[in-house]
Amino acid sequence: MSTTVLTVDDSRAMRDMLRHSLVAAGFRVLQAEDGVHGLEVLETETPDVIVTDINMPRMDGFGFIEAVRKDETRRAMPVLVLTTEVDVEKKNRARAAGATGWIVKPFDPVKLIDAIRRVAA
Amino acid sequence: MEDPMAAIRETFFQECEEQLAALETGLIAMENGTADSETVNAVFRAVHSMKGGAGIFSLDALVRFAHVFETALDKVRSGSLAATPQVVGVFLRAADVLEDVVNAAREGGTVDEARTAALVEEFSHINDTPAAPAPTPAPAPEAAPTGGLFEDAVPPSQHWEIVFTPKPELYAKANETALLLRELRRLGPVTVTLDAGRLPELNELDPEGAYLTWNIALDSECDEEAIRHVFEFVEDDCELTITPPQSVGFAPGTVITGDNGFKFEFFPPPEMEPEEEEAPACAVATVAPAPVPAPHEPPAPPAPVKHPAVEVMAAKAESAVAVTATIRVDLDRVDRMIDLVGELVINEAMLSQRVMEAGIARASGVAMALEELEHLTREIQDSVMAIRAQPVRSVFQRMPRLVREVAAQTGKQVRLVTEGEGTEVDKTVIERIADPLTHMIRNAIDHGLESPETRVANGKPAEGTVKLLALHRSGRIVLEVSDDGAGINRARVRQKAIENGVISPDAQLTDDEIDNLIFLPGFSTAAKVSDISGRGVGMDVVRQSVAALGGRISIASRPGQGSTFTLSLPLTLAVLDGMVVSAHGHTLIIPLGAIVETLKPRASDVFPLDDHISVLALRGGYVPIVDVAISLGYCEEFIDPEQSVALLVEGEGGVRAVLMVDAIHGQRQVVIKSLEANYRAVPGIAAATVMGDGRVALILDVDAVVRNARSEAGRGEVPALEAN
């Protein structure tokens, strides 16, 4: 079974880009367009790694990560934050919410894949 | 196969369009003071998202400008900058520039560098930072200390000692020591000693606590940065000391024995079980190096790319969770479907007719089923048409920018009010109304509104209002552009018309008729041709392009209070509601939208003017009569008015005429088939359709027929003369 990655990003272009890179690297890819949608996906799917954006409508990345961590069964699910934010304060918020790691956009697919492999059990 | 990156790039630009529209909407709400925090967030996200996407495609100019813009927006979002009208004004102009930058990136064009630079400068004031060059888009995250001392000085295969003590937070964020060790193994042979000295008794053990310390010896040529990179995500959630190389360390494969005598060894494993680190009793481990290339090289994909399994995986990913409730469909497919549904409608009608002809009772099962089929067919047709329908919002959203630009060029103060952005109309129609609307709005600002000084002198607010309105009315879409300016200067219009020989000096025109003179070719009243609405095209061009869409345009004006242009268009160009009539035995369709009323004329109301022309007395006025059969050349004999039906029709500009036909057979929706595409253009005929009996019926071009009749009557020089 290949590693399953859930990507949460409100930009279609970014989702397409992620899928393109990750599928090529052999991952199975699930997609959600914001935090709310991401939680819906998690009701039926158990990805090995989540890659999420921060700035999204409805539920942003912080809220999403907190919600993921609240669930006992998902405490050990690695969540990588993929964001354009370079602000340390925001990174710390993501960490406080329970993010496993972060990658700053514009991302390098190689770095992203590397990071996913690093946190995927 | 299509280049996936090109497709993603295209998606990105489509999203940019959406983001720019959202940006504009949000900024206008901020300008009007109706923005809440979510609006401000949405505005920020729009710019932020464009910047993020632009980064993927290395669109540096876009990234740079979006970054400056975003920085200011973030300040507003966080409350450290007030969204004053001045600030929002800069944002609005920045949105315009951003659009230009996006378009330049999309089409490989250039942008007005001076304008961009000027805005960056304005932002630097807003952002309260010195006018420094635009910040670099995205500095590396956390550039971990590069350990400059060792960067170049590290000789091959040095011995590093790492002491790693996780805090509970590390585990709370789903990080795993085992995975970190696995990463270290990629750098070189690793020897791990577990210090479990702080481990409490089982009954005192907090399952979420962290009690272990790992002493790691790493033999690697790597630098400190590579090691820190492994701990990048956890460095704040652990105690980490990295001792630089001092001497050559353990040979790989050493087995180390712990204090309690417990000993075990990791074999060079393909995978390491993460649970093993949890084993409280474990003591010592030696980890052989994983067969991994140089530290910073990307890991190779796990499977050869052409392996069948990868194909399956890709297919799985395609069927990934549905992303949105909308899909994008190639327009050609929709049009093909519309075409087919059109055929279906015709076939259904033919079938109905055959069934009727066969004398099958209306109450019979066949007839009932047929009725149901007819109902369904109509519903399918409506649904398919609805696919092509789009709100006019996309066009309306372009107008605020236009208004700002024209206002700046003319030195006028303008407020644009829009209403009915959600009104839906066929995509083709939307695409073609942008130009006429643009022209009408330019015209309203340039010619309609007075200068602020004049307005104040006349007791009006200095800021003029231009209102753009869309609504559905009797199966058509109506667009109105109104201004609260001076209204049409009728004396000047009349004078100009006389000078140009458009009307005779003694012509008696009503106010409405004078106003509508501006739609005549070559008419321009501007004292000097300005850049704005001059350009050698007048309202006649607008009228022609509107007429080409089967639309009408008219103007109403009140001196000193302003003018209103009204544009009425069919909702779709694919089907038409028509009246089925016959003229000299030929079936014809007259567009329902053109018909004002139908009447049975009395012979005594018909007054022949000469051998060719008659007029009908109608409520105190006279309307020219068009005998449809004659005008289309079916016959040369005038129809007997007593044996005919008259349809009062209104052509473009409100020009009226009475069409005489043999009979009316009913009203139906017909599928428009272009004559030009299938045969050739025929004067007086707009298009054709296929009737239920399979015969082709022609759709009358009411405007052309009316125009023709009036010019034959020798009165074509003055349009819109009939007031009934």
B-chain residues near A53 (CB < 8 A): 52
Mutate which: B233, B272, B312, B328, vs A, most A CBs within 10 A: B233
> CA dist B99 to A12, A76, B19, B68, B106, Å?
19, 43, 10, 15, 10
B599 phi and psi angles, rounded to 5 deg? -150, 160
B-chain residues near A17 (CB < 8 A): 8, 56
A31-40, A80-89, B11-20, B392-401 — which is least confidently predicted?
A80-89
Comparing B409 with B248, the larger pLDDT belongs to B409
Q: H/E element holding B458?
A: none
- Cβ contact, residue pair B56, A13, below 8 Å: yes
Which residues have CB under 8 Å from B491's CB, separation 6+? none
A-chain residues near B179 (CB < 8 A): 118-121
Distance from the A13 Cα atom to the nearest Cα atom in chain B, whole angstroms: 5
Mean local confidence (pLDDT), B255-280? 38
B97-106, B302-311, B460-469, B521-530 — which is least confidently predicted?
B302-311
Which residues have CB under 8 Å from B513's CB, separation 6+? B718, B719, B720, B721
- Percent of chain B past pLDDT 90, that is, above it, reads 5
At the top level of CATH, which class does the domain B4-126 belong to? mainly alpha
Question: Any CB–CB contact under 8 A between B692 and chain A?
Answer: no
Q: How many CB pairs under 8 A join A and B?
A: 154
Distance from the A85 Cα atom to the nearest Cα atom in chain B, whole angstroms: 8
First-to-final CA distance of chain A: 13
Mean local confidence (pLDDT), B445-462? 89
Residue B526 has pLDDT above 70, yes or no: no
> What is the spatial distance between Cα B393 and Cα B308, in angstroms, rounded to a whole number?
47
- Residue/partner pairs of B688-694 with CB below 8 Å, 24 or more apart: B689/B576, B689/B578, B689/B589, B690/B346, B691/B346, B691/B349, B691/B580, B691/B587, B692/B346, B692/B349, B692/B350, B692/B352, B692/B353, B693/B350, B693/B353, B694/B346, B694/B350
Helix/strand/coil for B355:
helix
User: What residues 268-297 of chain B have any CB closer than 8 A to a CB of chain A?
Assistant: 274
Q: Which of B174, B309, B313 sits opposite A78 (nearest CB)?
A: B174
Amino acid identity of residue B639, one-letter, is: I
| Residue pLDDT tens, chain A, 121 long | 688 999 999 888 888 888 888 888 888 899 998 999 999 888 888 899 999 988 888 898 889 999 988 887 788 888 998 876 566 777 778 888 888 888 876 667 787 888 888 888 7
Note whether B277 and B216 are within 8 A (CB).
no
Comparing B278 with A74, the larger pLDDT belongs to A74
DSSP string, B31-86: HHT---HHHHHHHHHHHHHHHHHHHHTT-HHHHHHHHHHHHHHHHHHHTSS---HH
Residue B686 has pLDDT above 90, yes or no: no
Instruction: Enumerate the domain spans of chain A.
Output: 4-107
A-chain residues near B316 (CB < 8 A): 28
- Cβ contact, residue pair B305, A24, below 8 Å: yes
Q: Which of A22, A106, A121 sits opposite B138 (nearest CB)?
A: A106
> What is the spatial distance between Cα A31 and Cα B320, in angstroms, rounded to a whole number?
6
- The model's pLDDT over B282-318, given as tens digits with 9 standing for 90+, comes to 344 444 444 444 444 444 444 443 333 333 333 333 3
Residue B714 has pLDDT above 60, yes or no: no
Q: With left for phi above 0 and alpha for psi between -120 and 50, is residue B560 left, alpha or beta?
A: left
Band (B148; pLDDT cuts 50, 70, 90) = very low
Residue B465 has pLDDT above 90, yes or no: yes
- Cβ contact, residue pair B52, A11, below 8 Å: yes
Q: What is the CATH topology of the domain spanning B153-287?
A: Alpha-Beta Plaits (3.30.70)
> CA dist B662 to B444, B583, B643, B644, B705, Å?
45, 5, 7, 5, 17
Question: Any CB–CB contact under 8 A between B84 and chain A?
Answer: no
CATH of A4-107, one of 3.40.50.300, 1.10.1740.10, 2.160.20.10, 3.40.50.2300: 3.40.50.2300
Amino acid identity of residue B241, one-letter, is: T
Instruction: Enumerate the domain spans of chain B.
Output: 4-126, 153-287, 331-388, 392-570, 575-712
Which residues have CB under 8 Å from B164's CB, separation 6+? B177, B180, B213, B214, B215, B216, B231, B238, B239, B240
A54-68, A82-96, B378-392, B652-666 — which is least confidently predicted?
A82-96
Handedness of CA A9, A11, A12, A15 (dihedral sign): negative
- The model's pLDDT over B355-368, given as tens digits with 9 standing for 90+, comes to 877 887 777 788 88
A89-98, B448-457, B583-592 — which is least confidently predicted?
A89-98
- Cβ contact, residue pair B11, A13, below 8 Å: yes
- Structure confidence at residue B361 (pLDDT): 75
Q: Which of A17, A26, A118 sits opposite B183 (nearest CB)?
A: A118
A39-43, B4-8, B526-530 — which is least confidently predicted?
B526-530
Comparing B254 with B67, the larger pLDDT belongs to B67
Question: CATH assignment of B392-570?
Answer: 3.30.565.10
At the top level of CATH, which class does the domain B575-712 belong to? mainly beta
Most confident listed range (A47-56, B142-151, B318-327, B364-373): A47-56
A-chain residues near B235 (CB < 8 A): none
- Structure confidence at residue A6 (pLDDT): 93
Amino acid identity of residue B511, one-letter, is: D
- Structure confidence at residue B475 (pLDDT): 65
Mean local confidence (pLDDT), B304-333? 50
Mean local confidence (pLDDT), B75-81? 82
pTM of the model: 0.46
Most confident listed range (B23-32, B149-158, B604-613): B23-32
- Cβ contact, residue pair B172, A69, below 8 Å: yes
Residue B281 has pLDDT above 70, yes or no: no
